[in-house]
Amino acid sequence: MLNHPTIDKLKSMRLNGMATALIEQMQTSTADELSFEERLGLLVDQEWTARENSRLSMAPEKCSTMAPQ
């Protein structure tokens, strides 16, 4: 599998969490012991977590801009 183009495509689709998780999986030998479904689940979980963290980190900014002055 050509990993670099896959990572580039994930990033271009704004799936940076999945791209990061894939890189981490490629660097970890224990990832080979997981099934396809388990590895895919980890990729999806990391993407979801990255998006949630981003959303939560932006929440205080939105609150401060919406506060009455």
The string of pLDDT tens digits covering residues 15-52 is 999 999 999 999 998 889 999 999 999 999 999 999 99
What is residue 67's predicted lDDT score, i.e. its pLDDT?
A: 56
Q: Is the pLDDT of residue 12 over 80?
A: yes
What is residue 9's predicted lDDT score, i.e. its pLDDT?
A: 96
Query: CA geometry: angle at 57 spanning 8 and 45, to 5°?
Result: 50
Instruction: Please name which of 16, 22, 63, 68 lies closest in space to residue 43, comparing C-alpha atoms.
Output: 22
What is residue 27's predicted lDDT score, i.e. its pLDDT?
A: 93
